Amino acid sequence: MWMNEVLTGNPIRCVNAFQMQPDLFLRFSKDLSSRYGLKPSCKMSIREKIGIFFICACSRAIHDVLNSIASRKVKGLAHDIIRPYDQDFKSIPAKIATDKRYMPYFKAIRDDIAKSLRRARRHN
C-alpha cells in the first residue's frame, strides 16, 4: 500500500525514499525479477523487498559504515578480514586437498596468488 503511494504519487516522494525516480525503481524491480530471479514471498512483494533494501542502504549511517569498512586512506576492516590467515598458502584445508573436484582448481589459483604476492613483496 505505502509502496504504491510512493511509486504513483509525487515523484519526489520516491526520490526521497529510495534516491531514484519511480520509473528507474520500477525498471530495476523488473530486471531483478525477470533477469536475476528475485521472487516475491507470501508476505512481501518484489517492490517491497527492494524498497526496504534501498531504505536501509541509502541511509547516512550505512554509508558511514561502508566507508569505514572500505577506507583506502588507512588499512580498514576490509583489509583485515579479506586478507587470508595463511598468506603464503602453505596449508590446504583437508576438504579441498582430498577432493578431486576442487584440488586442481585450488592448486592453480593458489600458485597464481602466491606468485603475485612474491612479486608484490619484491617491488615494495
In this prediction, residue 47 carries a pLDDT of 92
In this prediction, residue 72 carries a pLDDT of 58
Model confidence, pTM: 0.48
Lowest-confidence pick of 39-53, 63-77, 107-121: 63-77
In this prediction, residue 81 carries a pLDDT of 58
**64 grid coordinates:** 558511514
CA separation for the pair 103, 25 (Å, rounded) = 43
DSSP the chain: -HHHHHHHS-HHHHHHHHSS-HHHHHHHHHHHHHTT-----SS--HHHHHHHHHHHHTSHHHHHHHHHHS-TTTT-HHHHHHS-SSTT-----HHHHT-TTTHHHHHHHHHHHHHHHHHHHHH-
For the cut 80, the answer to whether the pLDDT of residue 74 exceeds it is: no
Q: What is the pLDDT of residues 21-52, one digit of tens each?
A: 999 999 989 988 898 888 999 999 999 998 88
